[in-house]
Chain A
Amino acid sequence: MLDVLTGFVGELRASGLPVSVTEAIDAAEAVTSIGLDDRRALRSALSATLVKSPEHRGAFLRVFDLYFSLRMAPGGHDDEIWIAGEGIDGDEIFVPGRQGSERQATSPQELREAVRRALSTGDAQSLFESAMTAVELFGAVEAERPVGVAYYLHKTLRALDLAGILEQLLAEIDGPVTADGSTIDPLERSMRSRELASNGDLLQEMISDEIARKLVDARGAGAMAKSMRRPLVEDIDFMHASADDLAQMRRAIYPLARILAARLARRRRGRRRGQLDVRATIRRSLSSGGVPLEPQFKHPHPNRPEIFVLADVSGSVSSFARFTVHLVYAISEQFSKVRSAVFIDGVDEVTAIFQRAASISEAIAEVGEKADVVDAHGHSNYGNALRLFEQRYGSTLTKKTNLIVLGDARSNYHAGEPEVLRSLRRRAHRVFWLNPEPRSYWGTGDSIIGEYAPYCDGVFECRTLRQLKEFVDHLA
């Protein structure tokens, strides 16, 4: 057991979780007193002692599933095997003799029918069984092939046609449910479609877990963990994030913004004393015979910076721009004023959209549709965009404005016109440039960040949420 635990802790560390020696010892003690019979209890025990931050939980669960799924089976029970069915409240699902041959063969048609039923009821056990059958039928997992879970997942889902089944079920929601021809209540419909979608996600997750388990069987947990290792949300690269990653990052933004806002507010309040207030000190000194015993201080001015974000929203960097704008608006009360403009080769101010829209994410979606950012070709042209920006909005920049330019400074070999940036800097308080590319790529190919750098107060590499957070912290 100790070996497993050491390997487990090692893998957690490799995934970026800070696990101290004391915590590892605690984990060992916890495992001793909880025993190994109950997998869920074991998981709770390990997570309570090793994982001290909600952002790390995802990584923990992934590693846990790899290390503690089948490893325990041979020495433990005869043919009862621990399987985590992350169902509703994750009830333990025991599948006796899972690898036995008594399971009768299912045809693809029967399976699809079973999946349909499982999806509409949302029953964890039947979802889980369909997931296993699906992998058996369509997955054809071969340990020797050097491909990962994603490959088999894709293959299984395509053969199963999960998207098609879901679409069909969704269409049926609107069908004649009641005999008297009255239509379904919108609330009920809304709930059902949400539930279907989340059941679909659950099934997909179960299929992917099942594939992972098969691969772990064949390749060993350590090797699998290594190939499935993924960076923590904070360390995912904006430029290479998958759709899944992006969803995860979107969820991470609000907690991040909250922590950041609390810290900025606290820091501002922390500076309790301003300059010496001579008038007040002298007035006060009258009560002590003109001797200034108690110096009085002015209240510090809450110095909230003004922000103007100018973001490149062309394909290559759009997700980075979205995240940055999202974060800036999420903590906008920490700034006295936030304005934003987007560009590709044309430029358009979008502040109004943010003021009008119900939520930041909606505003960002609207920006994507409505902003008029294409001047000629629809390829980034930093020179043209900067010049247009100066013409239209240059006069509104003041000595309080922090101008933040977001982009990779890849101008498709158009003229960069850095002198425009210089004149913008003269008007503004400070100019920062955030570049989502790794520093080592800067200045290669058509990257002209080097031309702009002299006219910025700071050029920052900003590839991950962590770096973004550090920048905002530095700014306010």
Chain B
Amino acid sequence: MSENSPFNDPANVKEALSGVGYLADDEIATVVYLAERLQKPILVEGPAGTGKTELAKSLATALSSRLIRLQCYEGLDESKVLYEWNYRKQLLRIQVERNEKELTIADDASNWRRIEDDIFSEEFLLERPVLEAIRAKDPVVLLIDEVDRVEVETEALLLEVLSEYQVSIAELGTVRATQIPLVILTSNGTRELSEALKRRCLYLYLDYPSQEREREIVLTKVPEIGEHLADEVVRVISMLRSLDLQKHPSISETLDWARTLVVLGVEHLDASTTATTLNILLKYRDDIDKAQREIARVSPAPVIN
């Protein structure tokens, strides 16, 4: 696929993504470019709300591919990841056969074999996201969201797909990908993923954005805000992120805050406005208290601790 790869270089990726409203930094662009070149899945990790899922969605839009999404949760199993046989339909098929021919199955061995072949054919196969992505004729982006939520055993189901781009079905044989889908896995890091999974992926750690980039994001998504206020918003956010809090404000919370400030008609941030709207940014009582104390601090913060 390297010949007809949609991207020539990382800068190209950046452009394409910004075209659909996702501001990627150099790191993101490089990793996406490499994933496309080396035909490897990307494992995206990082704190909540830094645009992991958004990256997959935006890539799908930028590549004008279909997005196939597998939302992971505890207890997810093979029949929801890869494929399942539609057994109601299979039962129906057998019953119809029996009524038509007035035969019992045990009567005729060859007849039974015929029905067996019949009911384990593609017609009775229910595609689940991973198989769907593998068999898709059109270009697709497969998003495996929050992969850290599944058990280690389920994680192993993904290994074959991630390295060989194929799925083995006991009754049908191996299904190979007609075209290599771009696979993106996201993880919130609630548990260590297995070495085997990590080895097969390119790794991208999405941290909170730099002030520069966050400012651009704010200006892109909330254009009414104006440069001056955007500047101040981003500075306050980065100060909050430097505090020792239970949950730091995410990008989406920054945007919510920016929108709120616009609605409130704020033109310039000061201590009291910030203190009264902090609950949009911080979701724990303790965090809010701490931030308020920091904002109202009388003496300058200690420099070196």
Q: Which residues of A contact B (CB under 8 A)?
A: 18, 20, 22-23, 26, 29-30, 33-34, 40-41, 44-45, 47-49, 51-54, 57, 88-90, 163, 166-167, 170-171, 173-174, 185-191, 193-198, 200, 247, 254-255, 258-259, 262-263, 266, 358-359, 361
Contacts and interface: CB of A to CB of B under 8 A. Distances in A.
B271 A41 contact: no
Contacts of A163: 303-304
B271 A187 contact: yes
A30 B199 contact: no
Nearest to B34: A30
Contacts of B290: 358-359
B104 to A, nearest CB: 29
Contacts of B286: 358-359
B103 to A, nearest CB: 33
Contacts of A57: 205
A89 B29 CA distance: 14
Given A30-B38, A247-B305, A262 B191 contact: yes
A187 B242 contact: no
Contacts of A359: 244, 246, 286, 290
Given A22-B199, A52-B198, A166-B303, A194 B190 contact: no
Nearest to B305: A247
Interface stretch (B63-71, B165-173, B206-214): B206-214
A23 B199 contact: yes
A196 B46 CA distance: 27
A45 B30 contact: yes
Contact of B235 (A174, A191, A263): A191
B52 interface: no
A40 B239 contact: no
B26 interface: yes
Nearest to A201: B304
B203 A48 contact: yes
Given A47-B203, A88-B210, 9 more contacts: A23-B199, A49-B202, A89-B213, A170-B300, A170-B303, A185-B271, A187-B270, A196-B303, A359-B290
Contact of A197 (B31, B199, B298, B301): B301
A262 B187 CA distance: 14
A55 to B, nearest CB: 10
A41 B37 CA distance: 14
B148 to A, nearest CB: 8
5 contacts: A41-B30, A49-B203, A88-B211, A190-B294, A361-B244
B301 A193 contact: yes
B300 A48 contact: no
A34 B212 contact: no
Contact of A44 (B31, B38, B296): B31
A45 B236 CA distance: 32
A44 B304 contact: no
Given A20-B199, A44-B26, A187-B271, A54 B38 contact: no
B127 interface: no
Contacts of A44: 26-27, 30-31
Given A45-B34, A88-B210, A167 B203 contact: no
B43, B297, B303 interface centre (most CB from chain A within 10 Å): B303
Contacts of B46: 54
A193 B30 CA distance: 35
